[in-house]
């Protein structure tokens, strides 16, 4: 399983997104979404390597990016 960040609009129905991610073999983190600029939010997800391909036509998904550990400098 790989970690992903799914970008959605801030008012997106996260329960529906959670159901769709789980149907594609992934899990949505229980941590709150991270607010972003322009009324967007990032949702932490774990899923298969091909999760972006499986969700690219999902209407709630604006972008899917690989997640990584935070590194302090």
Q: What is the pLDDT of residues 15-24, one digit of tens each?
A: 999 999 999 9
Structural domain 2-66, CATH architecture: 2-Layer Sandwich (3.30)
* Res 10: pLDDT: 92
Closest CA to 61 of 70, 52, 48, 69: 52
d(CA 51, CA 56): 8
Q: What is the pLDDT of residues 44-66, one digit of tens each?
A: 999 999 999 999 889 999 999 99
Please, are residues 72 and 7 in contact by the beta-carbon 8 Å criterion? Answer: no
CB burial of residue 46 (10 Å; 0-12, 13-18, 19+): middle
Residue ranges covered by each domain of the chain: 2-66
Task: Please determine, for residue 27, whether its predicted confidence score (pLDDT) is greater than 80.
Answer: yes
Token pair 């970690």 is at which residue? 3
Closest CA to 60 of 23, 13, 22, 19: 13
pLDDT band of 70, cuts 50, 70, 90? low
């Amino acid at each position: 399983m790989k970690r992903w960040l799914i970008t959605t609009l801030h008012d997106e129905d996260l329960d529906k997104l959670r159901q769709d991610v789980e149907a594609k073999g992934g899990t949505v983190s229980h941590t709150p979404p991270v607010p972003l600029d322009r009324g967007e939010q990032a949702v932490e997800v774990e899923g298969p390597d091909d999760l972006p391909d499986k969700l690219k036509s999902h209407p709630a998904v604006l972008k899917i990016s690989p997640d990584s550990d935070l590194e302090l400098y």
